[in-house]
Copies of this chain bind each other. A is one copy, B any other.
Amino acid sequence: TPESAERTAVPGVSTGLAVTGAGGDVLFVEASLAEKDTGGTGVTLTGQLGEVMKESAQIALSYLRSHGNALGFEVGELAERGVHVHVPAGAVPKDGPSAGVTMTTALASLLSGRPVRSEVAMTGEVSLTGRVLPIGGVKQKLLAAHRAGLTTVLLPQRNEPDLDDVPESVRTALTIHLVGDVREVLELALEPAATAQVAAA
């Protein structure tokens, strides 16, 4: 989609799916690192995030701090530079654990310099060991992804039964990956390192 392409043109932004009062919707998670020696420290979370969603961000960070190095991410950056995770729109309260994969992906994109593929949307709770746990609202989320022109969706493996409720036309139009571990999410969602370097050149 044009919007998703613009948003994810830079590393640190990933495309998630949410359920709102008015059905499903696309949501972007933005992550940034303060440059060294600019006084930015610690972790800042904004976007009127509720308690559960703030915990998702903490889990994403802890996952990367304990597993990220082995996966090739520059997690040492988190030690010296303040990290900020924001979920626009700023005035809309948001909560729930289902942005766990989206937050982990935004942070991994930021730490690797690899942008998130612009055609990919995702939803799923992440546990501290990286397992992807099931979420609600599969039908509305897939409809929203389709409506927004996204073509690939990453869903928790354990949500497979919920695909029965999704209209055949939507299921056919989308490439749906069922994932059990957040490592699969990162492999599917991040552009290859090489492409990223070209983009940065």
Contacts and interface: CB of A to CB of B under 8 A. Distances in A.
A98 to B, nearest CB: 9
B32 A79 contact: no
A127 interface: yes
A34 B62 contact: yes
B38 A79 contact: yes
B128 A34 contact: no
A56 B133 contact: no
A160 interface: no
Contacts of A129: 7, 10, 12-13, 30, 32
A35 interface: yes
Interface residues of A, number: 56
B78 A59 contact: no
A91 B82 contact: no
Contacts of A68: 35, 38
Given A38-B75, A84-B62, A32 B89 contact: no
B59 A90 contact: yes
B128 A55 contact: no
A125 B52 contact: no
A32 B51 CA distance: 20
Given A38-B75, A39-B65, A66-B34, A127 B86 contact: yes
Contact of A52 (B40, B76, B91): B91
A10 to B, nearest CB: 6
Interface string A61-93: 111111011000001101110111010111100
B69 A38 contact: yes
A59 to B, nearest CB: 6
